[in-house]
Amino acid sequence: MPPEKIEIFKSMESWATKNILTHLKPVEKSWQPQDFLPQADSEGFYEQVKELRERSKELPDDYFVVLVGDMITEEALPTYQTALNTLDGVRDETGASLSPWAVWNRGWTAEENRHGDLLNKYLYLSGRVDMRQIEKTIQYLIGCGMDPKTENNPYLGFIYTSFQERATFISHGNTARLAKEHGNMKLAQICGIIAADEKRHETAYTKIVEKLFEIDPDATILALADMMRKKISMPAHLMFDGQDDNLFENYSAVAQRIGVYTAKDYADILEFLVGRWKVEKLTGLSGEGHKAQDFVCGLPPRIRRLEERAQGRVKQASTAPFSWVFGRELKL
């Protein structure tokens, strides 16, 4: 990024301390995975595990495939912290920098780290999934990394994270809803508490972009249009289990079918962010900025129309085996 753009992020540091770091919770006031799992040091541990396993029997395989996919996405956290540290002007320059951007990156990572831990332990105790295949998938995914197309640019990076945090908030919220519908209140609580974290993180990232629109509206609207032309790819898009070359697409198809994360959600997120950032009301833009504004504001209905056509062409009969549920075939 040009030096004058990097300077914008330097100038925002005191603002970030007051407005962004407040969205991190102190460790001593944070929930931990053990708060929601059987207590290994208690006399009733085996009974608690038995009850967890009995409850999990009520949930179908397609639910577990989506829950596993969500958990694997959370477990690839080293990749996401690395990605944040590629961004010019906000990266952690030393690994323990005290700049508010670096403190946020590490604090965000520490909070997110609990999500994969909690879901991983729950899935292991449930006995419903092939943990070795899941562990292989996590290793493959961290090894493969991700390409969010943010190009070391924090304008692009914070737009991506705003979108992505809302997407994970929706996804975990829907797994909570489905668990509740199947009578599994403990799992609903687990997914719900993770969704609440994602919502808090979404609020922080959207505040950053809101501030960028205030300080540098032209560069910010051009960045938003750029990210939407590229399309926001999910963090786990390079997922592989050693067997299925289309694993991410197949997992996504199941998530779409059972209503955990859908193409409609993608359009809804963009519409929400356009409203949140008051994109339609931006003034003082360049000619290119005006074109970007028109493109972004007209995109949600276009995405919905394309999705309706695509759904009309979907073949109802297609299935795929998932190694995570011992190779059982599921409808896509």
- Cα–Cα nearest to 68, from 133, 112, 114: 133
Question: Quick one: tokens of 51?
Answer: 């009850």
Query: Catalytic residue positions?
Result: 31, 74, 112, 115, 165, 168, 197-198, 201
Which amino acid, 48? Q
Residues in the chain, how many?
332
Question: Quick one: tokens of 79?
Answer: 């990749």
- Cα–Cα nearest to 212, from 202, 203, 221: 221
**Residue 208 and residue 158 in contact, taking contact as beta carbons nearer than 8 Å:** yes
| 140 Cβ contact partners less than 8 Å away, ≥ 6 residues apart | 239, 240, 241, 242
**Residue 69 and residue 236 in contact, taking contact as beta carbons nearer than 8 Å:** yes
Burial class of residue 131 (count of CB atoms within 10 Å of its CB; 0-12, 13-18, 19+): middle
In what helix (H) or strand (E) does residue 19 lie, and over which residues does it extend? helix 13-19
DSSP string for 102-136:
HHHHHHHHHHHHHHHHHHHHHHHHH--S-HHHHHH
Which amino acid, 245? D
Which amino acid, 317? A
